[in-house]
Amino acid sequence: MKVTILIATTFLYLAPTITHAFCFQGTCDWAEAPGTRSFSITLKQNEERIHGRCCAIAQSGARIDCEVDDLDNIHGEIDASGRAAILDFASFFDAQRGRATLKAADEKVLWTVEIEPIGGDYFATRNAILQRRPVVSPGNECRFN
């Protein structure tokens, strides 16, 4: 009996470290983008893994680095704090192996490119404060097992 209570108490104590403090799932837009550019990310999250796509529009629409067929160009993992993620990303202009970080800040997300992708062009902003779009459809919640 004492062993069972100890195990249950230990599990309840550790449970908060298993779940994530921030849900990265959804779409976020560059909050203060200049008029000639825009940038957004759309992510799906399953526990500590996230994937999705970024869309960058530059040069007043002359460069559109987006995919209309819902192909992912972002893959990454959320760190142990649950409030930051390391992402590998690519451009749809053949640039590969970029690395960015996301950090949760209230209901905003901070995007920072740590390593620029190589082998082609890319138009994602290096730094941005992203504003979350309101969730308008059910089923867009994060899944934590």
Mind listing the domains of the chain with CATH numbers? Answer: 22-132 (2.40.128.520)
pLDDT tens, position by position, 13-55:
443 344 446 889 999 999 999 999 999 999 999 989 999 999 9
Please, are residues 41 and 54 in contact by the beta-carbon 8 Å criterion? yes
* Nearest Cα to Cα of residue 111 among 99, 93, 96, 97: 99
Bridge partner residues of 20 (DSSP): none
pLDDT at residue 22, as a whole number? 85
The span from the CA of 15 to the CA of 6, in Å, is 14
Question: In terms of pTM, does the model score above 0.75?
Answer: yes
pLDDT of the residue at 19: 47
What pLDDT does residue 141 have?
60
- Coil, strand, or helix at residue 67? coil
Share of the chain above pLDDT 90, in %: 68
Mean pLDDT of 135-144: 60
Say if residues 143 and 45 touch (Cβ distance below 8 Å). yes
Please give the pLDDT value at position 4: 44
